[in-house]
Every structure is written in C-alpha cells, then in structure tokens.
Amino acid sequence: KNQVEQSPQSLIILEGKNCTLQCNYTVSPFSNLRWYKQDTGRGPVSLTIMTFSENTKSNGRYTATLDADTKQSSLHITASQLSDSASYICVVSASNAGNMLTFGGGTRLMVKP
C-alpha cells in the first residue's frame, strides 16, 4: 500500500530561524513529489514539484530536496516569517492508472515572534 509519512507532526520555531520538515514515502511507481502549504481553513497551495531526476528545487525561501534512492524528501524553510505558520503537506504521485495521489498527514508549523 502506498504511504507517505511526515515528521515532525508539529513544530514551533522563532521568527528568523530555519527549519526542515521531513517526508518519507513508499509509493510505486514513483512519478513526482509535491510540497504544499496550507493555511488554516484554506485550500493547499503548491510550493514545489519534483520528479525522479531532480534532487533539489527552490521557491524563494523554500527549498525542497529529494532522494529517490532512499525515498525521502525534505522541505527547508530559511529565515522563517510569521506568515510561514501553516501546515505543510507532502504529496507523492504514482505514474499508473487509478488513484495516483498519496497525501502525507502534514506538519503543522508555528512561527513565533
């Protein structure tokens, strides 16, 4: 069964600090991995999308990495801001017919002043 596990479940950091969120997956055959940011009560918004051949991708202060061999991804947030407080969801897509998307449970990040 395809699974996506994220850690930690929640995280509190001070404004200006960096943090790294983890995503481990067992999805086959792998197509791509996405990180989403979800503000409370709102729909998720895409941050990055990575394929098998990409091992890093940045979007402003967000940098995602992918190790397809170990089936691990991370999302690094640099110089955190209060507006980074949100849930971050890892979603892995399989390249076969049927139900292609597997969602992680998310990491809830709180940035404090």
Footprint on this chain of other proteins (rule: CB under 8 A): 31-32, 34, 41-46, 49-51, 89, 93-96, 98-101, 103-106
Interatomic CA distance for residues 76 and 15, integer angstroms: 14
Nearer CB in complex with other proteins: 45/110: 45
Q: How far is the CB of 51 from other proteins (least distance, A)?
A: 5
Q: How far is the CB of 108 from other proteins (least distance, A)?
A: 10
Interatomic CA distance for residues 66 and 27, integer angstroms: 14
Please enumerate in sequence order all residues whose Cβ is within 8 A of that of 58, keeping only pairs 6 or more positions apart, or say none. 48, 64
Q: How far is the CB of 79 from other proteins (least distance, A)?
A: 26
Interatomic CA distance for residues 85 and 56, integer angstroms: 23
